[in-house]
Amino acid sequence: MTGKPLEIGGSRGRVEATGRGVTICALDQMKVMGMDIDDTSVAIQGFGNVGLYAAKLFAERGCKIVGISDVTGAYYNPKGLNVGDAIEHVAKHRNLEGFAGGERITNAELLAADCDVLVPAALEKVFNAENAAKVKAKLIVEGANGPTTPEADRVFRERGIVVIPDIMGNAGGVTVSYFEWAQDRMGYFWKEDEVNDRLEDVLLTNLHAVRHIATTRDATLRTAAYTLAIDRVVKALRLRGIYA
């Protein structure tokens, strides 16, 4: 079991890991796309464990958070939201209901709002063929599992919108869960900075490999990620002698 309290063998950095992974992948892809951090606006659907920490880390790096949401609705401010105020509001009220930092809109409207980077970090299948045509973001980073339907994926490719798929974008959590297992096996625990550095190394090594496949084969990052994953499984099985 992973995600344990530190007192019984948990890992530092595990709580923030999924949101941190979203941010790590997004910032690296932004560089490739020539997006200046200080001029980049980010909207995040979902303000739970993934969305909240992603918003916090994006803001710390200098991005402007223009939209956030939870089950109570979405809040949008083109001039930027105060993420610290939003976190305090949720800590006090347990949700974003009544947050005064931005205009109240629907979750559906948030997905079509003006922003450079869009992070679906709540539900699956939030993007379909219809609303995918309305998305204004240049980059989508999937913090949730399966937020994009195949039909929406085709629309995004046709429109030139880059999508970092869930298998890559939200892998920070399971990666640090692996770190937790490894630390438990050793009986030796790393400092939080070391956990974060190791996480960034793992994610960026894989993202760069995925991007190389996507570039050389003219494929989406999703197809490239699946290609890399399947290739690794096949090679491992062959080396073990399961297949002659």
Residue scoring higher pLDDT (168 or 1): 168
Check pLDDT > 80 for residue 24: yes
Cβ-count burial of 94 within 10 angstroms (0-12 exposed, 13-18 middle, 19+ buried)?
A: exposed
User: 129 is written with which tokens?
Assistant: 């063929």
Question: How confident is residue 183, by pLDDT bands cut at 50, 70 and 90?
Answer: very high
- pLDDT over 70 at 243, yes or no: no
Q: E strand or H helix at 120, and its extent? A: strand 117-120
Q: 3-state SS of the chain: helix, strand, coil percent to 5?
A: 55, 15, 35
Q: Domains plus CATH for the chain?
A: 17-169 (3.40.50.720)
pLDDT of residue 158: 97
The predicted pLDDT at position 180 comes to 98
pLDDT reading at 242 higher than 80: no
Within 62-191, where are the H helices?
83-93, 107-111, 129-132, 150-159, 166-169, 172-186
For the segment 31-69, what is each residue's pLDDT rounded down to a tens digit?
999 999 999 999 999 999 999 999 999 999 999 999 999
Confidence at residue 127, expressed as pLDDT on a 0 to 100 scale: 98
Residue 244 has pLDDT above 70, yes or no: no
pLDDT digits (tens, 9 = 90+) for 78-91: 999 999 999 999 99
- The answer to whether 146 and 127 are in contact (CB under 8 A) is no
The predicted pLDDT at position 136 comes to 98
Element (H, E) at 104: strand 103-105
- The single-letter DSSP state of residue 71 is T
CA triplet 179, 199, 70: central angle to 5 degrees?
Answer: 100
Mean pLDDT of 85-98: 97
Contact 49, 170 (CB under 8 A): no
**Closest CA relative to residue 120, chosen from 84, 59, 176, 68:** 68
Model pTM greater than 0.75?
yes
Q: Are 195 and 2 in contact (CB under 8 A)?
A: no
Residue 26: the pLDDT is 98
Residue pair 46/194 in contact by the 8 Å Cβ criterion: no
With a pLDDT cut of 70, the percent of the chain lying above it is 99
pLDDT value at 94 more than 90? yes
pLDDT, the chain, mean: 97
> Are 170 and 22 a contacting pair, CB within 8 Å?
yes
